[in-house]
Structure 1
Amino acid sequence: MLLTISFEPPNDAGIDATVLGYLLHKHPRKVQTFQAPVGDIHVFYPEATPERCTAAVLLEVDAVGLVRNKRFRGDALALDHYVNDRPYVASSLLAVALGTVFRTAMTGRSDSYPELAERPLPLRIDIPVISVRGSGVEDIIRRLFDPLGWMLDERPIALDETHPEWGDSRYSALTLTGEVRLGEALRQLYVILPVLDDSKHYWVGDDEVAKLVRSGEGWLNEHPERELIIRRYLMHQQSLVEQAESALGGVTAGSSDAAPAGVDASAAAAGADRPAPLRALRADAVIAALHDVGARRVVDIGCGQGALLRRLASDRTFTEIVGTDVSAQALETASRVLNLQRASDAERERLHLLHGSVVYRDERLRGFDALVLMEVIEHIDESRLDALEDAVFTDAKPSSVIVTTPNADYNPIYESLPPGAFRHTDHRFEWSRDEFARWADGVAARRGYTVEFRSVGGEDADHGSPTQMALFRRSAA
C-alpha cells in the first residue's frame, strides 16, 4: 500500500521544497527500508526539486507473517487470513507504518527548520486505494477531513475498467490538499486511517488510548465527529472509549459528557441507540436560546477550537458571528475547522475570530444581539468574576447573554468521578444549582437584566441536569 506527501511552496515564499526531507527526517536522495511487524516499509522521493518535493511511503505487507504473528488478528476462517485486501488498501497497517518511520515528524520537532515545523504548509496527500467499512459511514470521509481544513478529491475505483457496466467497487482513491502543520497532518492520518476501515489488524488494549490522546492533540477534542472517531479507533470497546473521553476532556476521573451510571455499556458497544452526547445537547440548547431571543449578531466568548461556531455558521439565521478566545492556538485551529482561508468574501465578512479575554473590556464586542459563554465561567478564578461581569454586562451590554456551566449537584451521577472532584482539571469551581442561581440573580439585579434558568441534558429527579443554563435578557430602559 502506498501514500505520498507533496510539498509545493508558493513561488514567492523563498523556500526550497526539499526541506520536506528535513521535516520528515528522511533524506530525499536515499531509499530507506525499515523492517516492522507489518512488513517492510520503504521511504523514497519520486520527485525532489526546489519547486516541489514528494515523499512516498510504500508498505510491503507480509501476509503470511501477519497470520503467524500473534500480535495481529484475523477472521476465524483460515482462507481470509491469506486472501484479503491488506496488501494494497490503506488501513491500520499503514497507520503503523507512518508511526514507525515518521515518529519524530509526528511530534512536530525539526531542529533544522523549527519555524516550518510549527506553521501550516501547503500539502498534498495522495492515497491510491482506501476503503470505508462499518455502519454509519455515509459521507464519512468528508465528515472526518472537512473540519480539519482539508479539500477532498475522492475518486471511486471501478470493479473492472474493461467492464464499466459492473459499476464501482467499494474502494476509492483519495487526494487531500490543504495548509496544515506537517506533524498534525501525520497524526490525523495515523488516527483516521483505521477509523475509516473501522478495524485494527492487531490487538487493541489500554495503550491505544494513550496513542489516541497523543495523536489527537490539537485537533481531536473539538472535532464534530469526535465520538465516532474515538469509538471506531478503539474498536467499539466501551471501557476504552470511556477512558479516552476522560483523557481527552482532561477530566480528573470521569467525563462530563460520558454516560452516567445506569447506561447499558454493552448495548452502546453493540451500536444500539444512545442519547446524544452532552456537548451536542449543550450546543443545541444554546442555539435554541439564541432563536428564542431573536438574535442575529452573536459573539461566542471562549470559542475554543470552533465547535459552536461551526454550528452557528451553518445556520443562516445568524448574520454576524464573532468568536473570541484567549488562546491564539485555539483560534488558529478554529480558523481551520471553519475553513476560513477558502471561504467566500461574504462568509469572511459574516464570521470573525478575535483574540481577547472575557475579563477585560473590549469595544469590539459592543452592540451585539447576544453573547454566549458556553462552559466558560468555571475556567475563571472566582475573584475575577466581577471583572467578567463588568466586561460582559456593563461594557459590551448585549440584548441577551447565555451562560452554561456544569451543575455540581449532578456530579454524583458519574460513578468514575470521586466525591469533591471537578469534571475538568482546569475548572476553578463548579456550582450547585443554588450557587449558580445566586450569582445569576445578583448579576441580573445589578446590571439591569432579567434571568431565566434552563436545564440541559437528561434531568435527574434529585440531582437536576448535568448542565445548567442562565438566559439573561436586558430590561427595557
Structure 2
Amino acid sequence: MHLILQASGADAAVVSHLLAKNPNNIYDRTDKGVRVRMVYTRATSSETEVLIHAEPDPVDLVRGSPDGYDITQYINDREFVTSSLFCSYIRSALGTALNGKPKEEYTKWVEHPFDLQLSFGPVASDLPDRVVEELFSHLGYAVTLEREELSYSFDLKKRSSVRRIILRGQETVQNALRQLFLLIPVLDNYKHYFISEDEIDKIKRYGDGWLETHPHKELIVKRTLRFAELIRKYESKEGVLSSPDNKPLSPEKVEDGRDVLTEGSIEASTEASTDGRTDDPPVRLNELRYRAITDVVARLPHRRRIVDMGAGEGKLSARLATIAGVESILAVEPSGQSRLRAMERFAKLEGRHGVFAMPEPIIGSLFYFDEQMQHQDVMILCEVIEHIEAYRLDGIMNTLLQEYQPEVLIVTTPNKEYNDVYAMEQESFRHHDHRFEWTRAELAERCVEWSAGTNYTYTIQGIGEQVEGYGQPTQMIIFGRREEGHQQ
C-alpha cells in the first residue's frame, strides 16, 4: 500500500517543508508491527516526488480479532490494499501537513495551491469506475484509473475490482491529503476500528470547504459513519444535514457492509415511499424486499413453520416473527459471526408484544442436506442464489423442490436490466460477491427448467419502483406446491 505525491512548478521544493521531512533523509519508522517509510525519489527546485509506503505485519492484522477463527484470515488482503488501515498507519508521519503547521517561515505556503499528482493504490473498491471518478473530479482533479487485466481460469467475473488511482490538479498539500484521508476509507468501505463520535470530528475537519457541496455527500457520510445514531449526531452538529440538492440524508445503518452506491445510495435515492408521497424519506430496496416477503407469508394459509435460508444477521427472520400464525422459524446461516449477531437481534425480541415465534439460529448451507429442513410450510431465499455459481443452482433447486419440498418456496434475486437505471457499468454486479445477475427473461427460462417434472407451479413478480423497459430492481419467484395428483 502506497501513496506517491508529486509537485511540479517553480515552488515545488517548498512541499518538503510542508511535509516536514528532509529530502536527504529516509523516514523509516516501525510501530506496532507496521513499517512506514517516506523517501523522496525526486527533489529539485521545480519538482518534488515523495513515496509513502506502509508495510504491516499480516499476522498482527488478525491477532485478537473477533474474526480470528474465520478461514478468511488466511486470504486477508488488508496488508496489500490502500484502505483505512493505510491512512491510520501514515497519519503520524503526515501530521504536520494535515494540521497545516510547518515552521513559521513556511506558514504562508499552507494555502498555496501546487500542481499536484497523487497516485495511490491498490484500492479494492465495490464502487463502479464512474462513481470513483466523480468522487474526485468534483474536487477539480483529472482522474485516471488503472486496472490490471486479469485472466481467470474460471467464470467468476469479467475484471478485477482492484484499481490504482491517479489524480492531477491544483490543490494545497493540506487539502489534498485531507481529501484522501476521508475518501480512501469511503472507497474501500472497510473500517478496522470502532466507529465513534471521533469520526464526526474527522468529517468536519477533513471535509471543511468541500464536502458540503459535493454531489456524493450522502455516500461519503454514510460510508464513514455507518450508524444511524452517529449520522443523527452529525446532523445535529451541522444544523441540517442535507445533500447538495437539499434532500435530507437517510440515516440508516449500512446493510451488512454492502451499502455501495449501486445497491445502497442509488436504490435509496430512486425508491419512492410506499404511500406515494414524494416528500417522504426514500425507502431502501432491502426494506421493500422484507415487506414484500412478509406480505406474501402473511397471506399464506400454511405458515406455521418457516425456514429463512441464508438468514445473515437475522433481519428478515425478526420480521417474520411478528406474523400471526407463525410458530417456528429456522434462521439458517453458515457464517458464525452473522449467527452471533442474529442471536443478539433475536434476544431483543424476548417478551416483546406482537412476537409470535422466536427465530432459532442454526448453522447450515444449501450445499449440505439437512433433514430438519424437509416439509416445512415456507422456505425463503432472500438475495441468496446470486451468491452461488450458476452451474450449481440446478442441483440446489432440485434439492429444494424434490427433497425439502416446502409448501411454498420464495426466492428473490436482482433484475440485471435495472442496473442500467442505476447507471452501472456494463457487466458489473451490484455486489462484489455476486456470481451472476439475470434479466427477467433469463430468470423466467430458469424457472421453467427448475419446475419441470416437479409438483410446483410458480409466479414471478417485481419489487421496487418500476421503470418502463427495465422492470423493477428485484425479482421475486413464488413456487407453490400443486395439489396431489396434478404433477406434470
Q: TM-score with structure 1 length normalisation? A: 0.50
So what's the TM-score if we normalise by structure 2? 0.49
